Amino acid sequence: MSSRDNVGRYVAASRDGELRFFNTQLDLLMTYHVKHPSQRQTATSSRSVGAWVTDVVCMINVGVLAVSCTPGFIALYSATGLVHPIVVIDKLEICASSVDYWSAV
């Protein structure tokens, strides 16, 4: 999947760690289950208990999706593939209930 393929997509997040990706006609393209960084990540693995999604933000100009979860971590995924996070900010003292991204571009 190239970055051009990601144009016109929507993402929906549930608190139980499920991310669903849709095209502009709202056809389901992919489902991904977010897990704690210490657990093995796969795109087709079953749901993980304890990784609730609190917020998601798309960093469109760099092609990254930031996902904040309990128990206190933020995972950054490439928008072209969600199999493994590219960066994980872990062991936060408190859970991020909201994330935001601002770009001057």
Please give the pLDDT value at position 17: 85
pLDDT at 16: 84
Q: Is residue 66 in a domain?
A: yes
Q: Is residue 23 part of a domain?
A: yes
State the pTM of this model: 0.74
101 domain residue, yes or no: no
- pLDDT confidence of residue 25: 93
pLDDT in the model for residue 39: 64
Does residue 14 fall inside a structural domain? yes
Mean pLDDT split into 10-residue runs, the chain, 105 residues: 61 86 91 75 48 87 89 86 82 86 79
**Residue at 99 is within a domain:** no
What pLDDT is stored for residue 105 in this prediction? 67
User: What would the DSSP string read from start to end of the chain?
Assistant: --GGGGTT-EEEE-TTSEEEEE-TT--EEEEEE---TTSPP-TTPPP-TT--EEEEEEETTTTEEEEEETTTEEEEEETTB-SS-SEEE---SS--S--------
The number of folded domains in the chain is 1
Q: Looking at the domain assignment, is residue 103 inside a domain?
A: no
Query: What CATH number corresponds to the domain at position 79?
Result: 2.40.10
Tell me if 51 is assigned to some domain.
yes
Is 54 among the domain residues?
yes
Given this model, what pLDDT does residue 48 score? 46
